[in-house]
């Protein structure tokens, strides 16, 4: 069973995004979406995905409620291993009571309800049993929706103006409207790279993800979580997720925080938000 090498795991904990070791890490992520067909996660396990900056980390943190459910946030092995292999290897790891892959800070979540990131490779204690449900989150896994017709997906959506504004605030490739430079995203990034305008490219990434989401949203094994719903009906979101996943996941410690603009600031934003919706190819169909 292929799992992350210890030397590479050590590198993951210390690499700078501009270092040679980071490039080696990206080069090791050689999985392509076309390789995934038929390699479904076992049983009732779940993939968590959606356009980047649409609330995938929040959903991942909210669903992490061991032993009922354990979630793993953006393990690099998810861009190396086919889903069946990935989920199997994670279950083997969790059987020992520890999780070393993924980047969700479980201590910050348990102690303060905080959605925080940590370095992959840092051991974190996790309680599991024979009925534990496993979820893995990579935003770009929306590309697997056509490949895995029977797998359960929790997919996030968010207003396009908030997503593209968040892209612009990121330090990495999302600021340029591009995904991680790995094999999994090669075709996607090639298509986006033909767009000269960065602003238009950011919106094109939003639309590329959500066009696929809309094509598969009718499936009973696909559950959509609207980011905005967390702020006015947190309990309702958790109850709906519990029904979809057939687990009581209503007691999450996660805190939902958001910037609430004052009325003048909101008024100034309204015109821009409407313009972004008009420019998007998917926002109206998503209900924005």
Q: Digits of tens for pLDDT over the chain (288 positions)?
A: 444 444 344 444 445 556 788 899 999 999 999 999 889 998 899 999 999 999 999 999 999 999 999 999 999 999 999 999 999 999 999 999 999 999 999 999 999 999 999 999 999 999 999 999 999 999 999 999 999 999 999 999 999 999 999 999 999 999 999 999 999 999 999 999 999 999 999 999 999 999 999 999 999 999 999 999 999 999 999 999 999 999 999 999 999 986 555 444 555 577 889 999 999 999 999 999
Inside any domain, residue 94: yes
- Checking 107-110 for CB contacts under 8 A at 24+ apart, the result is 109/61, 109/64, 109/253, 109/254, 110/253
Interatomic CA distance for residues 48 and 107, integer angstroms: 21
Dist. CA 288–CA 282, nearest whole Å: 9
**Cα 237 from chain centroid (whole Å):** 17
Q: Is 208 among the domain residues?
A: no
In-domain check, residue 205:
no
Please state, in angstroms and rounded to a whole number, the distance separating the CA atoms of residues 203 and 88: 36
> Domain limits at 97?
42-162+222-277
Phi-psi category of residue 287: left, alpha or beta, with phi > 0 → left and psi -120 to 50 → alpha = left
- pLDDT for 20 equals 87
Structure confidence at residue 185 (pLDDT): 98
- The pLDDT of residue 3 is 42
Q: What is the pTM for the complete model shown?
A: 0.91
Which residue carries 């805190």 as its tokens? 255
Q: Looking at the domain assignment, is residue 157 inside a domain? A: yes
Q: Which residues pair with residue 135 across a beta bridge?
A: 46, 71
Strands 98-99 and 124-125: antiparallel
pLDDT at 261: 53
Angle in degrees, CA 92, 138, 22, rounded to 5: 90
| Residue pointed to by tokens 């993924």 | 102
**Is 56 among the domain residues?**
yes
Asked if the structure places residue 194 within a domain, the reply is no
Q: Is residue 179 part of a domain?
A: no
Task: List the end-to-end C-alpha distance of the chain, in Å, as a whole number.
Answer: 44
21 inside domain: no
Q: How many structural domains are present in the chain? A: 1
CA 272 to chain centre: 26
Predicted local confidence at residue 260, as pLDDT: 57
């Amino acid at each position: 069973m292929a799992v992350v090498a210890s030397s590479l795991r050590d590198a993951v904990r210390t690499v700078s995004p501009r270092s040679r070791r980071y490039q080696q890490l990206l080069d090791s992520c050689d999985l392509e979406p076309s390789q995934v067909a038929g390699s479904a996660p076992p049983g009732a396990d779940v993939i968590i995905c959606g356009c980047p900056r649409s609330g995938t980390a929040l959903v991942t943190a909210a669903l992490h409620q061991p032993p009922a459910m354990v979630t793993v946030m953006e393990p690099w092995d998810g861009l190396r291993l086919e889903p069946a292999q990935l989920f199997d290897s994670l279950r083997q790891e969790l059987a020992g009571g520890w999780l070393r892959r993924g980047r969700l800070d479980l201590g910050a979540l348990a102690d303060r309800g905080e959605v925080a990131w940590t370095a992959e490779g840092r051991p974190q204690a996790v309680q599991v049993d024979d009925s534990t449900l496993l979820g893995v989150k990579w935003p770009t896994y929306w590309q697997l929706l056509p490949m895995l017709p029977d797998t359960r997906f929790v997919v996030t959506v968010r207003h396009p103006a908030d997503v593209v504004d968040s892209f612009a605030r990121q330090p990495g490739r999302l600021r340029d409207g591009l995904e991680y430079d790995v094999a999994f995203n090669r075709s996607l990034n090639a298509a986006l790279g033909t767009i000269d305008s960065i602003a238009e490219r950011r919106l094109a990434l939003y639309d590329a993800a959500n066009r696929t989401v809309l094509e598969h949203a009718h499936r009973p094994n696909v559950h959509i979580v609207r980011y905005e719903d967390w702020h006015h009906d947190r309990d309702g979101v958790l109850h709906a997720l519990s029904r979809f996943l057939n687990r009581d996941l209503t007691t999450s410690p996660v805190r939902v925080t958001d910037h609430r603009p004052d009325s003048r600031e909101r008024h100034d934003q309204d015109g821009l938000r409407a313009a972004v919706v008009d420019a998007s190819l998917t926002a109206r169909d998503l209900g924005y």
